[in-house]
Structure 1
């Protein structure tokens, strides 16, 4: 399969490219730094600045599948007005341009999204049947608009999948930020620790993206979270156990808000989300469905 990937040098993207290469697919990537991306991944890469350029014709001309992982990192820095604009446009504008450039050869468009589309409060459990209200948070607005942009491609007869990703556990992402704190025995729950944390192991999120790209049953929104979400305090305890460190130092909500501003929502919101479609419709098999096993795999001695 001819597959074009954006955001390929990111945390998920690098693993995805490696796995697809093992499956003998033909991979091309778009990147702000094509030379670096090509050297890092060992695949052809084309320069693309989504803000000022159209999608390069040579990169997209014969592709059958697009996997769009592009988007500024939500967890980097405070959400200033300028930063929020970058976070939003990096997802919406890049998706709009990919949809506009889609060649006749394209039959599948797999696009990132996030569990931020859900309310992020309380203990209610959400699946893909949820309807986004008119009044939305910043996170809900991003995810809703991102999915709407991706869905435009369906009018061309192209299958579209939006992957609503949870917190990905692997050697990068959130864990990379938490590990130094926990290794100093200063880890613990954020806020009151009662908020739900929808997690997924890096191996499983890569498998979800590959299944979405290759299995024609996948269409529309798909929650990419493990079937057993935990509360943040359980996560902190399990991570402390995996690292053989205590984990009882809470990070008070007011300190997180002081340091991170609005971005503190990433740690303090409560997302109880279930992968209903993966389990019931697609029979997806999670390699890691329980948190202790996922963390043990990531932190076993090498």
Structure 2
């Protein structure tokens, strides 16, 4: 099978290339510059302008779209890359004589906060990032109507929650730092906070499953199948590191927002991320994709953080 992967040099992309290589697939990575991508052929293209996309997509059987902006100083950048960039990619796919199947890695942020969010729930994103990822989903469905049925582009959407694992650039490093100082911040009012998680290798398997078994126009939630309390996540990281569980300290939303604005919008916890963190629940109900997660939180942390 011939795969084109956008975002191949990112956290998820690097792991996905491993899975594809192990499966014996032919891999092309979309890159904006002259960088080389180990294990893949580089195709030059730019989601911001559309340049090179037609050539990059040519001859692909599957396109897995991971590229996107997760932090930005200007909220308009989210929309330009995550929504409009996805629209440009869809147009390039649609222009092919035999359009490849397109798998879009969206986010639970596109659905919005809450406990046990279902795939059929009306999306209610609360952040610029979430709105931009939803915009990408909608861009894939424009040609075929509200549900995408009838489109030349057989697009499938996967909405992961928090993704962690080896090479994680943000989530695990933040938790490790919190464990080491013994304080785990929680933005907003005191009370329990629930999150869905998925290990990066399980997400890669889900994306490949979506490419094979997902219905055109389908939207799928994936996770490790559990609701995790913030306290328990911190304690699990501490166990993996052989340390004591950190103490949860609630940071008032106004204080967190003021700090985020001071350090800058593009920081790890900028205003957009604070807006998401103010909501105490980000979990998804089991989805319809025929995918079974293999990696529990404790096992995933043991491998990612162990000696």
TMscore range, shorter length: 0.7 to 0.9
Asked whether the equivalents of residues 182 and 240 of structure 1 are also in contact (C-alpha less than 8 Å), the reply is no
Q: What pairs up with 1:6-25 in 2 under 5 angstroms?
A: 6-25=6-25
Structure 1 residues 216 and 224, CA gap change in structure 2 (3 angstroms): closer
Asked whether the equivalents of residues 155 and 218 of structure 2 are also in contact (C-alpha less than 8 Å), the reply is yes
Asked whether the equivalents of residues 158 and 221 of structure 2 are also in contact (C-alpha less than 8 Å), the reply is yes
**Greater helix content:** 1
Asked if residue 54 in structure 1 is aligned to residue 44 in structure 2, the reply is no
Q: Match for 1:272 among 283, 286, 299?
A: 283
| Structure 2 partner of 1:297 | 303
Question: Distance between the aligned counterparts of 1:182 and 1:232, measured in 2?
Answer: 12
| Structure 2 partner of 1:252 | 251
Asked if residue 138 in structure 1 is aligned to residue 128 in structure 2, the reply is yes
Structure 1 residues 285 and 19, CA gap change in structure 2 (3 angstroms): same
Question: Distance between the aligned counterparts of 2:55 and 2:129, measured in 1?
Answer: 34
| Structure 2 partner of 1:182 | 178
Q: Which runs of 5+ in 2 are unaligned?
A: 261-270
Question: Distance between the aligned counterparts of 1:202 and 1:67, measured in 2?
Answer: 15
Q: Match for 2:225 among 213, 224, 227?
A: 227
Aligned length: 284
Asked whether the equivalents of residues 187 and 240 of structure 1 are also in contact (C-alpha less than 8 Å), the reply is no
Question: Distance between the aligned counterparts of 1:19 and 1:45, measured in 2?
Answer: 18
Q: What pairs up with 1:1-302 in 2 under 5 angstroms?
A: 1-33=1-33, 35-36=34-35, 38=36, 40-74=37-71, 80=73, 82=74, 84-102=75-93, 103-121=96-114, 124-132=115-123, 137-152=127-142, 154=148, 155-171=150-166, 172-182=168-178, 184-191=180-187, 192=190, 194-217=192-215, 220-246=218-244, 247-250=246-249, 252-254=251-253, 255-260=255-260, 261-269=271-279, 270-278=281-289, 282=290, 284-288=291-295, 290-301=296-307
3-state SS of 1:146 partner = helix
3-state SS of 1:277 partner = coil
Q: Deviations over 1:158-216 (max 9, x none)?
A: 32111111111112143343155135233424133622111101110011011112235
Asked whether the equivalents of residues 55 and 98 of structure 1 are also in contact (C-alpha less than 8 Å), the reply is no
Question: Distance between the aligned counterparts of 1:89 and 1:45, measured in 2?
Answer: 23
Question: Distance between the aligned counterparts of 1:157 and 1:53, measured in 2?
Answer: 19
Asked whether the equivalents of residues 223 and 275 of structure 1 are also in contact (C-alpha less than 8 Å), the reply is yes
Question: Distance between the aligned counterparts of 2:129 and 2:197, measured in 1?
Answer: 17
Normalised to the residue count of structure 2, the TM-score between the two structures is 0.83
